[in-house]
Amino acid sequence: MKKAYVFPGQGAQFIGMGKELYDTNEDSKAIFDKADEILGYSISEIMFSGTDEQLKQTKVTQPAIFIHSIAAQVALGEDFNPDMVAGHSLGEFSALVASGALDFKSALKLVEQRALAMQAACEIEPSTMAAVLGLDDSVVEGICSKISEVVVPANYNCPGQLVISGSIAGIEEACEKLTEAGARRALKLPVGGAFHSPLMEPAKERLAAAIENTAFNNPTCPIYQNVTASGVSDKDKIKSNLIAQLTAPVKWTQSVQSMISDGATEFVELGPGKVLQGLVRKINREVATS
């Protein structure tokens, strides 16, 4: 009987996120106040009462989700005793703080750098992502591999749900071919770039330098990283996996399966929304989620 804590990534944000935690828990309030101080502007104000336009900027979205997740974690106090942790894409940074591999300030600065680097990479070449529903992973992989433009699997979210990433022309061609192959849906996503694809190489290089210059610790419990989908407890491996993550696919289905194989019977999502709870249930209906 092991408990896994999981942390969401970009897309889970909403106006008002974290306000209740701020108002009701002193430890959570301290996290928001500290984040405002570190970033040099009131991100909490945007989170609580800003506009959708402000919040959906990558440079705001990513720190906001990370801050909310850690505020939710500290609110648990001594009740937070993870046997294992994992985060979806950006959520991996939240998982690293929760497991003691990174301190909050260092992680927030890395998240800010990651967001800025990804935004800059998006401006170099127009690119996008699409959600593909109702096809086996192998079929999607095969179709992507035959397209001359850059198109790659980016997020293995759950069986029958795979997000692809690439150039705009490549994604449009892939969506047509995937629909012809029987996909229930092949839907372009409202994102500004091809995350978790080779088009993020400029962002990876920029983030790698920041990660190499940041002090990491060995975590207090294994972290199941997106790149390997297996539990990692060595700080040097964690760093190299974190750098590789920007251009490699998020193996979420495989990570959850690995955690279950290693004894996880309950998954608790910390952060805005309930997206990961839904994905975990689609991966395995036998485990408890909250």
pLDDT tens digits, one per residue of 43-91? 999 999 999 999 988 899 999 999 999 999 999 999 999 999 999 999 9
pLDDT of residue 178: 98
Query: How far, in Å, CA of 85 to CA of 235, rounded?
Result: 15
Confirm whether 209 is domain-assigned.
yes
Which one of 167, 188, 209 terminates a domain? 188
Q: Give average pLDDT by consecutive 10-residue segment, the chain, 290 residues.
A: 96 94 98 98 98 91 97 97 98 98 98 94 92 97 96 98 97 97 94 92 94 97 98 98 97 98 98 96 97
Q: What is the pLDDT of residue 125?
A: 86
Q: pLDDT at position 266, please?
A: 98
Check residue 150 and give its pLDDT: 95
Residue 163: CATH number of its domain: 3.30.70.250
CA distance 87 to 78: 21
| 207 shares a domain with 111 | yes
Q: Are 7 and 271 in contact (CB under 8 A)?
A: yes
- Asked if residue 131 and residue 117 are part of one domain, the reply reads no
**32 and 174 both lie in a single domain:** no
Residue 88: inside a domain, yes or no? yes
Domain edge (last residue) among 140, 170, 188: 188
Same domain, 36 and 103: yes
Residues 21 and 59 in one domain: yes
Tell me the CATH number at 45: 3.40.366.10
Q: Is residue 193 part of a domain?
A: no
259 and 175 within one domain: no
What is residue 221's predicted lDDT score, i.e. its pLDDT? 98
* Residue 133, domain member (yes or no): yes
Closest by CA to 242, choosing from 205, 196, 201, 208, is 208
Q: Based on the structure, what is the number of domains in the chain?
A: 2
Tokens standing for 225? 């990283």
pTM of the model: 0.96
Say if residue 89 is in the same domain as residue 24: yes
Domain coverage including residue 228: 2-123+198-289
Q: Is residue 204 part of a domain?
A: yes
Around Cβ 16, how many Cβ atoms within 10 Å?
A: 12
Instruction: Write down which residue in 151, 170, 188 finishes a domain.
Output: 188
Instruction: Using the structure block, give the residue that is written with the tokens 């759950």.
Output: 158
> What pLDDT does 74 receive?
98
Identify the CA nearest to 282 among candidates 165, 167, 133. Answer: 133
- pLDDT, position 191: 83
CB atoms within 10 A of CB 159: 14
Q: Would you state the structure tokens that stand for residue 92, as one six-digit string?
A: 């991996």
Which residues participate in catalysis according to the annotation?
A: 89, 196
pLDDT reported for residue 56: 87
Q: What pLDDT shows up at residue 209?
A: 94
Domain check: are 56 and 69 in the same one? yes
Say if residue 144 is in the same domain as residue 271: no
**Matching residue, tokens 């608790």:** 268
Within-domain flag for 139: yes
Contact 159, 253 (CB under 8 A): yes
Same domain, 81 and 184: no
Q: Could you tell me if 99 and 209 lie in one domain?
A: yes
Kindly state whether residues 203 and 283 are assigned to the same domain.
yes
Residue 151, in any domain of the structure:
yes
Q: Following DSSP, what letter does each residue of 188-246 receive, concatenated? A: E-S-SS-TTSGGGHHHHHHHHHHHHTS-----SS-EE-TTT-SEE--HHHHHHHHHHTT
pLDDT in tens, 258-283: 999 999 999 999 999 999 999 999 99
